Amino acid sequence: MKSIIFRGEESGHVVLFLTAGGNRVSAAKASAVAGQPLGKAEADLIRAETGFAIGGGAPGGHLTPVPA
């Protein structure tokens, strides 16, 4: 399993998607599921909201509740 984090363009907060390791997440489909446009989450936002650096994130145990 891998976690993919986007930035909600309307909320300004991270949105987490979980997928099997070999699968890719479609940004367009993810935006539809999230109910808002999604963009690239910058490293500082990811660390601030999850407590993890890019590449070291866990699917749970974040500093703040993260929509998934």
Q: What is the pLDDT of residue 53?
A: 79
Q: Which helix (H) or strand (E) holds 7?
A: strand 2-8
Q: What is the pLDDT of residue 30?
A: 95
- State the pTM of this model: 0.79
Separation CA 68–CA 57 (nearest Å)? 14
Q: What is the pLDDT of residue 57?
A: 62
Tens place of pLDDT for every residue, the chain, 68 residues? 788 899 999 999 999 898 888 898 999 999 999 999 999 999 999 888 888 777 766 666 566 666 66
Q: For the chain, how far is it from start to end, CA to CA, in angstroms?
A: 14
Edge-to-edge strand list for the sheet holding 14-19: 14-19, 2-8, 38-40
